[in-house]
């Protein structure tokens, strides 16, 4: 990989890129229709969660309970044309504000334009968590200290962002062999992960720590590891209306918000996003995405990926590690405690 770009010209280009993203977010606001606006309930110290969802009725009961217990005060959802009762379920939740759209998920930068508008409108000066419905944030000592404790500590340290490794969880046996009911903790069914096959490098353009590896690379991208999914994310940010995510929460502008990882030196606290994509419903969802084509840009590469998921592969191997909790991930070097613990 080329060395990181630096200098005044590069900084200038990044500023203009961020302004273009903000203008794009402003234009895309017209694709959203408000369904339920309860944002008047948002207090000045509220921690907010933002997510775009489609047909996630199976995951959402546990997702909401998990993040409420972790300290989220209000959820802002964009429902992208669900037909499984997702929107109706969300509308019943007193701490949820809901917008709907049937426009293209892919052409909205995979929902980031829509969420960017909501963050612009409601996230300014709040700590904002941006996640998918299949991502559960954890961090060192999360069992004892909630997000209010963490963000207060980050404020005291002068930190405006918090990084997390996306950690794919999977069952022992074929993906379709796991059992799961709405409301269950998905980590009880998906309780294995790859522990030691990760690598990182500095992204030459955005200067974030770019992490790849894990089970998806091992199973699907062993022959093309450079194309394996990106696993670094910056999901928790003390938001400003001037900020913009670039690609999911993998990259954000301004780039100073990328200073979130030090897994080797342990000077930074960081977390993990427990990725629960591989529930038994993954085969049906992958079949739907092969038809819709809304979740990938590299068509040939990711069509093969989704096609193989429809066959319920078995990810487990002798090197798989059983998930035990946040302290285990710190010990394995997959997240760091810094001075937080």
CA atoms within 13 A on the CB side of 179: 0
Q: Is the pLDDT of residue 187 over 90?
A: yes
Most confident range (mean pLDDT) of 117-121, 260-264, 286-290 is 117-121
Tell me, what's the pLDDT at 93? 98
Q: Is the pLDDT of residue 151 over 80?
A: yes
Q: Is the pLDDT of residue 314 over 90?
A: yes
Tokens 């998920």 identify what position?
Answer: 105
- Whether residue 21 contacts residue 244, with contact meaning beta carbons closer than 8 Å, is answered with yes
- The overall average pLDDT reported for the chain is 93
Overall average pLDDT of the 153-164 stretch: 97
Q: Is the pLDDT of residue 33 over 80?
A: yes
Strand partners, 161: 237
Q: Is the pLDDT of residue 53 over 80?
A: yes
Which of these, 286, 285, 321, 311, lies nearest to 59 by C-alpha position? Answer: 285
Overall average pLDDT of the 118-127 stretch: 98
In this prediction the pTM is 0.95
Tell me, what's the pLDDT at 261? 92
- Whether residue 25 contacts residue 108, with contact meaning beta carbons closer than 8 Å, is answered with no
Tell me, what's the pLDDT at 2? 67
Domains defined for the chain, CATH in brackets:
8-331 (3.90.550)
Overall average pLDDT of the 126-155 stretch: 98
Interacting residues of 17 by C-beta distance below 8 A, sequence separation 6+: 246, 253
Q: Is the pLDDT of residue 120 over 90?
A: yes
Tell me, what's the pLDDT at 118? 98
Q: Is the pLDDT of residue 298 over 70?
A: no
Which of these, 239, 244, 212, lies nearest to 227 by C-alpha position? Answer: 212
Overall average pLDDT of the 296-302 stretch: 57
Q: Is the pLDDT of residue 25 over 80?
A: yes
> 288 φ, ψ to 5°?
-65, -40
Tell me, what's the pLDDT at 286? 74
């Amino acid at each position: 990989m080329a060395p990181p770009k630096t200098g005044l010209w590069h900084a200038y280009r990044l500023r203009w890129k961020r302004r273009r993203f903000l203008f794009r977010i402003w234009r895309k606001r017209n694709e959203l229709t408000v369904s339920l606006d309860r944002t008047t309930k948002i207090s000045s110290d509220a921690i907010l969660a933002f997510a775009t969802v489609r047909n996630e009725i199976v995951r959402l009961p546990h997702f909401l309970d998990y993040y409420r217990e972790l300290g989220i005060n209000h959820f802002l959802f964009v429902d992208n044309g669900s037909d499984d009762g997702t929107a109706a379920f969300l509308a019943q939740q007193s701490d949820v504000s809901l917008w709907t759209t049937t426009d293209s998920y892919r052409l909205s930068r995979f929902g980031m334009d829509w969420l960017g508008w909501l963050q612009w409108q409601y996230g300014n000066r709040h700590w904002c968590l941006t996640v998918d419905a299949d991502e559960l944030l954890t961090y060192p000592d999360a069992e004892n200290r909630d997000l209010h404790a963490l963000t207060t500590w980050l404020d005291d340290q002068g930190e405006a962002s918090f990084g997390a490794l996306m950690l794919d969880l999977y069952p022992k046996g074929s993906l379709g062999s796991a059992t799961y009911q709405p409301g269950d903790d998905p980590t009880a069914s998906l309780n294995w992960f790859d522990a030691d096959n990760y690598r990182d490098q500095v992204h030459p353009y955005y200067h974030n720590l770019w992490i790849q590896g894990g089970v998806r690379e091992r199973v699907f991208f062993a022959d093309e590891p450079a194309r394996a999914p990106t696993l670094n994310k910056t999901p928790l940010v003390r938001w400003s209306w001037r900020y913009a995510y670039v690609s999911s929460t993998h990259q954000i502008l301004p780039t100073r918000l990328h200073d979130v990882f030090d897994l080797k030196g342990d000077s930074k606290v960081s977390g993990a996003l427990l990725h629960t994509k591989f529930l038994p419903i993954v085969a049906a969802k992958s079949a739907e995405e092969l038809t819709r084509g809304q979740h990938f840009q590299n068509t040939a590469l990711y069509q093969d990926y989704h096609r193989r998921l429809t066959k319920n592969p078995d990810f487990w191997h002798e090197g798989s590690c059983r998930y035990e909790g946040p302290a285990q991930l710190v010990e394995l070097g997959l997240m760091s405690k810094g001075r937080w613990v």
